[in-house]
Amino acid sequence: MNKNKDVVGEEQSTALMADVARLAGVAISTVSRALANPGRVNEKTRVRINAAAKQLGYTPNAMARGLRVGRSNTIMIILPGSPYYGASQIIPQVLQSINKSLIQRGYNLMIANLDREAISERHILDLAFGGTVRGAIIFSSKLPEVDGRSPADSGLPIVSMLFDMSDAGLPSVVTNDREAIRDATTELLRSGHRRFLYIAGPAGNYHDVERYGGVLEALRAGGLSEEAVSRSGGDLEYQHGFEIGIRAVDDFMKLAARPTAVIATSDDMAISFMSRIQRAGLSVPDDLSIVSFDGSPVCEFCSPPLSTIEQPVEEMGRAAVELLLNALGQTQNAVAMRTVIRSKLILRESIAAPKA
């Protein structure tokens, strides 16, 4: 019975593809190539075919195509933007974990993009609708959208990592950002700190919203208001973490009542801030305590060793693959919509009680 349904789906897909071909003025085989392998069709023809497909509301039947070419064993990874090679190597480390887990289960990993420019967004859509990939994992960002279409419209199983899209129906793997940084702030309060500098990531960023929210929750629980924390960074325009940390030193020096503790949303920010603030004559942790987020191995070798919240990259990668395989029907487990992996606060010598 299932086989007959698949055959019917294939026949319907072929008929609709013929309509697209007629409207675009090309052969059916050209439509097939344009949708499955865009690079094999010239740009002018591909644009015409895409316009015809959009006009007719045609969505390629990946299942029907799978009957002809075999089921893909390739999983697509969608990156949030250009790779950043700082101390905080969360994405490369998670990629390594995902790749290892996929290979063990008989799948291959394909990186779909190295930026989020318009041409890359369209390429991601082509892969999703073209039957080239079996599923997708998207990192720390929203799904790309071109001409009102997103990969979610293709019926492709998709898992979101480090960005909670469970409300939109996408299984998501996240860390307990808010709780983890709340605990770190509580530790600083317990040590006697009452004035803080928060070094923020890009404005509106999911992680920054969660982490700053955790700081405020800890302050309120400790009887302090939001006035106890000053902010630096938080620009809409993306900057590398080292740059944000360096600029935060200038912001710190301008404050009339200087904080005694700094909370950075990434290790890169904390490392560059700590280096520059010590050059300016302040001692860490005697004059200023610092804690950051990510858990980069290099933090242990900073001077002084940097306290950080370590993200469990291995576990996150395995969890994302498990969710995706569940969605593909490869396991008997129900598909969880939100999986939270707990981070761990590592206390080192960059934190001490403030001076009396």
10 Å CB burial of residue 219 (0-12, 13-18, 19+) is buried
pLDDT tens string 27-57: 877 887 776 666 667 888 888 888 888 887 7
Task: Provide the mean pLDDT of the chain.
Answer: 86
pLDDT tens string 134-185: 999 999 888 998 888 889 888 889 999 999 999 888 999 999 999 999 999 9
pTM of this structure? 0.76
Q: Residue 330: its pLDDT value, please? A: 58
Residue 68: pLDDT band (50, 70, 90) is very low
Q: Residue 2: its pLDDT value, please? A: 45
Segment 293-303 shows an average pLDDT of 94
Residue 59: pLDDT band (50, 70, 90) is low
Residue 67 has pLDDT above 80, yes or no: no
What is 177-310's CATH number, 3.40.630.30, 3.90.1150.10, 3.30.70.600, 3.40.50.2300?
3.40.50.2300
Residue 102, CA distances (Å) to 110, 171, 227, 280 in order: 11, 17, 47, 48
Task: Mark out the alpha helices in 105-222 (DSSP H runs).
Answer: 118-129, 177-191, 206-221
Q: 330 or 88, which is more confident?
A: 88
Residue 79 has pLDDT above 60, yes or no: yes
Q: 99 or 148, which is more confident?
A: 99
Residue 336 has pLDDT above 60, yes or no: yes
pLDDT tens string 237-261: 556 789 999 999 999 999 999 999 9
Segment 283-294 shows an average pLDDT of 96
% of the chain residues with pLDDT over 90: 54
Structure token digits, residue 62? 């990946």
Q: Residue 210: its pLDDT value, please? A: 94
Task: Mark out the alpha helices in 81-137 (DSSP H runs).
Answer: 90-104, 118-129
10 Å CB burial of residue 142 (0-12, 13-18, 19+) is middle
Q: Residue 332: its pLDDT value, please? A: 55
**Strand, helix or coil at 259?**
coil
- In this structure, are residues 173 and 319 in contact, taking their beta carbons and an 8 Å threshold? yes
Topology agreement, domain 1-70 and domain 177-310: no
Q: Which of 200-209, 290-299, 304-313 has the lowest mean pLDDT?
A: 200-209
Residue 3 has pLDDT above 70, yes or no: no
Q: What torsion do the CA atoms of 289, 290, 291, 292 make, to the nearest 10 degrees?
A: 170
Residue 62 has pLDDT above 60, yes or no: no
Q: Where in the chain are the domains? A: 1-70, 177-310
Structure token digits, residue 164? 């909670």
- CATH fold label, 1-70: 434 Repressor (Amino-terminal Domain) (1.10.260)
Q: 219 or 86, which is more confident?
A: 219
Residue 130: pLDDT band (50, 70, 90) is confident
Q: Residue 263: its pLDDT value, please? A: 98
Residue 81: pLDDT band (50, 70, 90) is confident
- In this structure, are residues 140 and 207 in contact, taking their beta carbons and an 8 Å threshold? yes
Q: Residue 222: its pLDDT value, please? A: 96
pLDDT tens string 120-129: 999 999 888 8
Strand partners, 289: 261
**Strand, helix or coil at 197?**
strand
